[in-house]
Structure 1
Amino acid sequence: MTDLVLASVRQPGSDTVADIHLRDGVVAAIRSADVPLGLPRNVPSVDCGGRYVIPGLWDEHVHFTQWAMHANRLDLSKATSAREAAAAVGRCLVAEKPGGAAVTVGVGFRDALWPDAPARDMLDAATGERPVALISHDLHCVWVNTAAARLYALEVDASGLLREEPAFLLTRELGRLPDSVVDEWVNKAGHAAAARGVVGVVDFEMTWNRDPWLRRIFAGFDSLRIEAGVYPADLERAVAAGMKTGKELDGGNGLLHAGPLKVLIDGSLNTRTAFCVDPYPFGGHGLLTVGEPELQALLERARDTGFVPAVHAIGDAANRVALDAFERAGVGGRIEHAQFIRREDFPRFGALGVVASVQPVHALDDRDAAESNWLGRTDRAFPLGSLLDAGASLVLGSDAPVAPLDPWAAMSAATTRSAFDGREPWQPQEAVTREQALCASTRGRGVVRMGDPADLVLLDADPLSVADPDLASMPVAATLLGGRFTYDGGLAGF
């Protein structure tokens, strides 16, 4: 048996000091510090000095390989115009050392509010014959120059923009790097996530995701639990392999499980492809990328094969279509994003057993785009409080690399609706409480109880009472996964 005692800890909102006994990866006992646990003297113990303990944090929606690559690509998130973004790429090429990658990849641009429009000849003028591909912050758009279009045999118009499925296909192609390189980046990203208290992620990387994670885990990756999503193109392959949501895939290590079936049915706000009831100011309603009969058939197949369906729906019309399909298929599941919802659809989430998997930081990043494109209707944009009030269940995530993989940033955005940048909180009536945000980030656990997995986080401050501006930068002292330290900020010396 493997035993460890976390001595002198407190639960959030409480001054009671307790000792927690961990045995074989489970919380075996919680006792007041003045009541002995009755364990042998040789059981290792860590003095936590009255720090606060919470259940381990989950990020319920990431693209993990893309997130790992993001840190190693040109960051264009600060570009305020197409011309500025093109110039930044040009400067990068001038400074680039010989022998670099064959294609220059930039990430993070936001063109929805740019005063000028991306154009292929604008990018050509800055980059010449070097192939360049720039991935938007929401992953739904890629801006390429002529050299990249030629290299990848792409059909692009004068804008140089690819949207939705063509953009996803190119993004996957750009990610075809040596496994050794990508896996090193993934390991670093996993350790960084553990340092923020993360114990697990739902990974919706747009590929057959089981095998890369098996390779990484068998090579030593052990900082996070991974639930690897499956896309419709690979559903029958997954079924033939005996997979279903929740099934362990790594032979007893307990780190890799099959995740949900991910179905994308509309686009995104910043590309103006989210499927909406009312037209956009420039015209059009966005895109419904999966027809209603096809969606219903996919949900029924998921139901019959043991997969939890997770439907990407951002626009209010897309959310209506998704809820209708869940109802007709007679199955619960998740809606990923749920950014814009008709009020009459709020109570349908709880009634149908559909979880709202939301990314609160997007509400802050996209507030200007929402006000521009959903003018006069943003009182029902990113409606976290209204969904909870209507009986829905919430889980929080980042959609990394769209937003940083950091649950504290998500909880801060959810509870304050503010980036503390001098602007007033946006639609503050949709804020949730600290307790609600913590529950939505810990798979409903909220507090540590006997019998829980020993996936725990030790904090230097009480997450229920720290000042609003400080929540996003919450100091993490240590993270444990199954009772072992995956991050130790100097507390235990492990």
Structure 2
Amino acid sequence: MRFALQCSSFVLAACGVLSAAQADTVIDNANGYTLNARGDVVRFASLAFDDRGRITAVGAAQEVAARAPGARHVDMRGRTVLPGLIDAHGHVFGLGEMLTQLDLSASTSLQGALASIGAYARANAQGAWVRGRGWNQENWKLGRFPTAAELDAAVSDRPAWLERVDGHAGWANSRALALAGITNATPDPVGGKIVRDANGVATGVLVDAAQGLMKKVLPQPTEQEGRTMLDKALAAMASVGLTSAHDAGVSAVQDRLYRDYADHGKLTARIYGMIGGTDADFDQLSKNGPLQGYGKDMYALRAVKLYSDGALGSRGAALLAPYSDDPHSHGLLFHTDQEMDAMIAKAMKKGYQVNVHAIGDAGNHQILDTFAKEIPANHAEALRHRIEHAQVVTPADIPRFKTIGIIPSMQPTHATSDKNMAEQRVGAERIKGAYAWRTFLQQGSRIACGSDFPVEAPNPFFGIHAAVTRQDAGGQPIAGWYPEQEMSLKEAFRCFTLDAAYAGHQEKNLGSLEAGKYADFIVVDQDLFKMSVYDIHKMGVLETWVAGRQVYARK
């Protein structure tokens, strides 16, 4: 009989806090895989953990049973058990927000998107705004951004604001533009762009920092709405096998919710937080220095997230030479070198790991230069600083990640999502340094893998599939997109486990199933190491366990 989710002393999906008197538990008859300290894949049949959720033994059934006398036993019935997977770059509240709004990620045409927007507006007539996310003009084959006039045709009775799939551009209707005070005469803010037509008319799309003009008038979520977002995000993460996520941009409001959830045993995934920026929220949150091990190691806030540039799809990524498909644009650096130096130094002086978003080769170059200067100046070598995305890097700069000691935090599904436009943006030569996982691995860099959800789906098996095949879910291109940069299955597995844990200073507690570490594991419906790599994206999660607590079971 299938092991059922129920209220008992060792299964607590909705039942409260683990009992201090709970006996050790043994997971038996598992087709288990994990990694050892060297990163080798090793097999196990049984796993024992104590009432703190710490692993006490792992290995052959008889050996584990001998070390856990009197323990409760849970029969896995030969199913595959893996370490819980870690997303090294996501936006937890962004995922929850997307799950409460209109999702346009599946739209394949402007007309289809407008139909969905109109239907959503009619079904949510009580809303003061129409909000959504996920559109991608590249998938619509428009050759341009959509316009406010087109959005007005779908919703004109109230303001509408729809974020692009990457979050680096937004599409407004005329009512929203008017509320934000955006006219043809409104100047572009530093680090942003108001898209205009040939006559200088603002068309309705705001890129990067220009989105701040709209965000000033958007209604802020209530506390209850924030809790709903967090609940939905945590449920989605558990259902795809994520037991930990690095949240790339935590606000003071979100920090309060995380602490509250950790205090009350409501976090069903470990959160490694990055404070969003070095302004007022940083000043408030950093008063007592980095937060580690909060709520029985369920929450940490020991990093800072900064931005160097925008995204490739909206041509906001900063390039050293003009875009191949727009010779009048280099993209946008968000800050001068002096400003970036000051922000990074401020965070390092407080003892924080600094993780900087950099997509274009100019953005990556700026951050590498700044790290090369500020890390020794602030004696911050041990903090494991990161560049988030490291997406298009000039080949001469790739070795600097290793020599300076920077972790490339990369998202495999970005390559398979961007392949329809990336080479158009940067050309045949610069693409050689783009999504260059193999090049980084060969020089000895540890890659921390993630998804950048909700930009991409949070499912880590989509990322493992993309990493080893360089194909999308439809199996295209057949030979893989620049397949010379693909990872092996072991490398991809490691970058979503041990190396993601390392990037969060958590490798002693997470990333593999070894004695002394937490019993964060998942049960899946296929054998990852025996199935066809081309089917990995079809993997289903049956159960998710965090610190020996079952937080998800597929119905």
**Fold conserved (TM > 0.5)?**
yes
1:369-408 residue pairs with structure 2 within 5 A?
369-376=421-428, 377-408=430-461
**CA 1:248–1:217 in structure 2 vs 1: closer, same or farther (change >3 Å)?**
same
Q: Letter of the aligned partner of 1:229 in structure 2?
A: M
Task: Provide the aligned length of Structure 1 versus Structure 2.
Answer: 484
Q: Letter of the aligned partner of 2:283 in structure 1?
A: E
Q: State the partner residue of 1:45.
A: 73
For residue 45 of structure 1, report the CA deviation from its aligned partner.
1.1
**Conserved in 1, the CA contact under 8 Å of 2:48 and 2:55?**
yes
Please state if 1:441 is matched with 2:496: yes
For residue 97 of structure 1, report the CA deviation from its aligned partner.
4.8
CA distance in 1, matches of 2:537, 2:134: 21
For residue 123 of structure 1, report the CA deviation from its aligned partner.
2.1
The structure 1 residue matched to 2:413, chosen from 357, 361, 366, is: 361
Could you tell which deviates more after superposition, 428-437 or 76-85?
76-85
For residue 328 of structure 1, report the CA deviation from its aligned partner.
0.8
**CA 1:32–1:248 in structure 2 vs 1: closer, same or farther (change >3 Å)?**
closer
CA distance in 2, matches of 1:320, 1:178: 39
**CA 1:467–1:150 in structure 2 vs 1: closer, same or farther (change >3 Å)?**
same
CA distance in 2, matches of 1:471, 1:486: 23
Q: State the partner residue of 1:8.
A: 29
Deviations 1:346-393 (A, max 9, x none): 221122111111111111111112021112132321111111112211
Q: State the partner residue of 2:129.
A: 103
Secondary structure of residue in 2 paired with 1:49: coil
Secondary structure of residue in 1 paired with 2:388: strand
For residue 172 of structure 1, report the CA deviation from its aligned partner.
7.9
For residue 153 of structure 1, report the CA deviation from its aligned partner.
3.6
**Conserved in 2, the CA contact under 8 Å of 1:347 and 1:391?**
no
The structure 1 residue matched to 2:342, chosen from 297, 305, 310, is: 297
**Conserved in 2, the CA contact under 8 Å of 1:164 and 1:267?**
yes
For residue 40 of structure 1, report the CA deviation from its aligned partner.
6.6
Q: State the partner residue of 1:127.
A: 155
CA distance in 2, matches of 1:398, 1:19: 31
For residue 286 of structure 1, report the CA deviation from its aligned partner.
0.6
For residue 398 of structure 1, report the CA deviation from its aligned partner.
1.0
Deviations 1:151-173 (A, max 9, x none): 34445652111111232564586
Secondary structure of residue in 2 paired with 1:375: helix
CA distance in 2, matches of 1:188, 1:341: 35
**Conserved in 2, the CA contact under 8 Å of 1:8 and 1:19?**
yes
Please state if 1:482 is matched with 2:547: yes
Q: Letter of the aligned partner of 1:261 in structure 2?
A: V
Q: State the partner residue of 1:329.
A: 374
CA distance in 1, matches of 2:490, 2:475: 26
After TM superposition, the runs of 4+ consecutive aligned structure 1 residues lying more than 6 A away are: none
For residue 101 of structure 1, report the CA deviation from its aligned partner.
1.2
**Conserved in 2, the CA contact under 8 Å of 1:455 and 1:480?**
yes
The structure 2 residue matched to 1:34, chosen from 43, 46, 62, is: 62
The structure 1 residue matched to 2:113, chosen from 85, 93, 112, is: 85
Please state if 1:345 is matched with 2:397: yes
Q: State the partner residue of 1:186.
A: 230
CA distance in 1, matches of 2:156, 2:341: 47
Deviations 1:159-193 (A, max 9, x none): 11111123256458646223223312321321221
CA distance in 1, matches of 2:96, 2:522: 23
Could you tell which deviates more after superposition, 202-211 or 303-312?
202-211
**Conserved in 2, the CA contact under 8 Å of 1:248 and 1:254?**
yes
Please state if 1:419 is matched with 2:472: yes
For residue 86 of structure 1, report the CA deviation from its aligned partner.
3.6
Q: Letter of the aligned partner of 1:269 in structure 2?
A: L
For residue 218 of structure 1, report the CA deviation from its aligned partner.
4.2
Deviations 1:216-265 (A, max 9, x none): 4445522111122112222222222x131x5244xx44322104111101
**Conserved in 2, the CA contact under 8 Å of 1:82 and 1:117?**
no
For residue 58 of structure 1, report the CA deviation from its aligned partner.
0.9
For residue 312 of structure 1, report the CA deviation from its aligned partner.
0.4
Please state if 1:71 is matched with 2:71: no
The structure 2 residue matched to 1:313, chosen from 329, 353, 358, is: 358
Q: State the partner residue of 2:518.
A: 453
Please state if 1:232 is matched with 2:284: no
Q: Letter of the aligned partner of 1:368 in structure 2?
A: N
CA distance in 2, matches of 1:407, 1:420: 13
Q: TM-score, normalised by structure 1?
A: 0.91
**Conserved in 2, the CA contact under 8 Å of 1:292 and 1:321?**
yes
Please state if 1:139 is matched with 2:167: yes
Q: TM-score, normalised by structure 2?
A: 0.81
**CA 1:206–1:267 in structure 2 vs 1: closer, same or farther (change >3 Å)?**
farther
**Conserved in 1, the CA contact under 8 Å of 2:179 and 2:217?**
no
The structure 1 residue matched to 2:257, chosen from 176, 190, 212, is: 212
**Conserved in 1, the CA contact under 8 Å of 2:337 and 2:370?**
yes
The structure 2 residue matched to 1:19, chosen from 12, 28, 46, is: 46
1:244-323 residue pairs with structure 2 within 5 A?
244=290, 247-249=292-294, 252-280=295-323, 281-282=325-326, 283-323=328-368
**Structure 2 portions without partners, runs of 5+:** 1-20, 35-40, 184-193, 195-200, 500-506
Could you tell which deviates more after superposition, 212-221 or 282-291?
212-221
Q: State the partner residue of 2:12.
A: none
